[in-house]
């Protein structure tokens, strides 16, 4: 197949409520939506998960637009491709910029699966008909409010609760939650808010039987996490530090992590995400699928990936209605009793909803 045309839409969607982490609060989500078209007029869809500011990784909506427009599309247009794994190889002369690469590569995966008449999940080698999902809750103004939120999501059926912690809102928050919910699968995400000076504090988390603690130390660290893991009973899960299979291999060999949060955008696409999954499965490291507050297209990609067998813990892939009044796909993603039914229609299995897409598009660019 050949990619003959790429449409890049800049989107702006307002989340129902703000999402607060140790590095800031977001409510208006800006992102890029990509549509690729082949020589027969088939289309595939991808979503960039870069935020409008570089607080999670260094990539932003604008850096992604620059990379996609000025480097990645010129590489891809008109090239003969037999399998989406080749896209990453074509992009390999470009350093990093993983979210930009993943947005295009994801659209090519969707297109490839549609051309074959199979679901994206099947194209990736996944075999689950439904996936279990958890929820990630942003920092709340007080513990009572957090407990209320957690109860609401448990009532909706979510199977695992992830809360954000930061210095000053950590041990007491987790203690309070454990008292309220003694048996709920619970984990904490620190988004790099601590250093090795906090070892004594972080060790106090061991008494709360957390599934894991996500990225306690620096966003680009692997070494200090190995030092910390030796002191902690709670398993460490790396998020921000993992940009590739190579990073996973080093982290696993060093003992920096016992679980991996796989985010398709952060690792540069579905092909690399699958390689990470396969390596972790062979090495006894469970993985789960993280979220980036995606709209429907990105969410659909996460669902397909999560059908692979070593996605052991429920992911952060909550239903559309947790984030959006109206999503950009039809049907929207629905969670029932903590499960999402994996669509079996070709490709991502959800249809882009052009009416809402147009409503939330601020500018679009066409390349052919
Ligand atoms: O619901 C989701 O999509 C998960 C949200 C979430 O936890 C995160 C999204 C974006 C950046 C971080 O704050 C965080 C994470 O680190 O996993
Ligand atoms: Mg995280």
Q: Domains in the chain, please, with CATH?
A: 3-117+352-367 (3.30.390.10), 123-349 (3.20.20.120)
Taking a C-beta distance cutoff of 8 angstroms, is the pair 134, 158 a contact? yes
pLDDT higher than threshold 90 for residue 256 = yes
> For the chain, how many residues are written?
368
Judge contact between 22 and 165, C-beta under 8 A: yes
- What per-residue confidence (pLDDT) applies to 20? 86
- What would the mean pLDDT of 252-264 be, rounded to a whole number? 98
Is 127 in a helix, a strand, or coil?
coil
Q: Best of 23, 50, 291 to mutate for ligand 1, by most ligand atoms within 8 A of CB?
A: 291
Whether pLDDT at 22 is above 90: no
Quick one: average pLDDT of 88-104?
Answer: 98
| pTM of the shown model | 0.97
325-347 pLDDT per residue, tens: 999 999 999 999 999 999 999 99
Give the residue, by CA position, lying nearest to ligand 1 atom 13. 21
pLDDT of residue 82: 97
Residue 13 · residue 5 · CB < 8 Å? no
- Region 62-79: mean pLDDT is 98
Has residue 113 got a pLDDT over 80? yes
32 cis-preceded (ω within 30 degrees of 0): no
Q: Is 189 annotated as a binding residue?
A: yes
Q: How confident is the model at residue 24 (pLDDT cuts 50, 70, 90)?
A: confident
Reading the block at residue 304, the tokens are 């397909």
Q: Tell me if 213 sits within 8 A of 188, measured CB to CB.
A: yes
Contact 328, 297 (CB under 8 A): yes
How many CB atoms are located within 10 Å of the residue 188 CB?
A: 25
Residue 355 has pLDDT above 90, yes or no: yes
- Above 90 in pLDDT, residue 10? yes
Q: Quick one: which ligand is closest to 51's CA? A: 1
Whole-number Cα distances in Å, 243 to 32, 220, 299? 20, 9, 20
Mean pLDDT of 347-363: 98
How far is the C-alpha of 131 from the C-alpha of 347, rounded, in Å? Answer: 17
| 47 annotated among ligand-binding-site residues | no
What is the mean pLDDT of the segment spanning 137-152? Answer: 94
């Amino acid at each position: 197949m050949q990619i003959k045309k790429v449409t890049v839409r800049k989107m702006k969607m307002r989340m129902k409520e703000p999402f607060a982490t140790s590095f800031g609060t977001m409510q208006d989500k800006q992102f890029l939506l990509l549509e690729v078209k082949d020589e027969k007029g088939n289309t595939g869809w991808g979503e960039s998960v870069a935020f409008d500011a570089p607080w999670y990784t260094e990539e932003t909506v604008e850096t992604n637009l620059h990379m996609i427009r000025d480097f990645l599309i010129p590489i891809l247009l008109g090239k003969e491709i037999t399998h989406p794994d080749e896209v990453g190889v074509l992009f390999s002369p470009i350093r990093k910029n993983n979210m930009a690469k993943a947005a295009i590569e994801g659209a090519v995966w969707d297109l490839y699966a549609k051309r074959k008449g199979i679901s994206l999940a099947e194209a990736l080698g996944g075999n689950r008909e439904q996936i279990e999902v958890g929820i990630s809750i942003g920092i709340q103004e007080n513990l009572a409010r957090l407990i209320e939120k957690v109860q609401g999501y448990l009532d909706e059926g979510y199977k695992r609760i992830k809360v954000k912690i930061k210095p000053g809102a950590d041990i007491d928050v987790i203690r309070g939650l454990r008292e309220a919910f003694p048996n709920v699968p619970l984990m904490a995400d620190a988004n790099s808010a601590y250093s090795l000076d906090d070892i004594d504090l972080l060790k106090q988390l061991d008494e709360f039987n957390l599934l894991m603690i996500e990225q306690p130390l620096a966003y680009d660290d692997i070494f200090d996490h190995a030092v910390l893991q030796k002191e902690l009973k709670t398993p460490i899960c790396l998020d921000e530090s993992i940009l590739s299979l190579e990073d996973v291999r080093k982290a696993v060999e060093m003992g920096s992590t016992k679980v991996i949060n796989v985010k398709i955008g952060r690792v540069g696409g579905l092909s690399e995400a699958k390689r990470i999954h396969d390596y972790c499965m062979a090495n006894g490291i469970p993985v789960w699928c993280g979220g980036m507050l995606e709209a429907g297209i990105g969410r659909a990609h996460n669902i397909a990936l999560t059908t692979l067998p070593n996605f052991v813990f429920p992911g952060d892939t909550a239903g559309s209605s947790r984030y959006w009044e109206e999503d950009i796909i039809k049907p929207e993603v629905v969670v029932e009793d903590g499960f999402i039914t994996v669509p079996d229609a070709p490709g991502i299995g959800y249809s882009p909803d052009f009416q809402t897409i147009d409503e939330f598009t601020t500018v679009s660019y066409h390349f052919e």
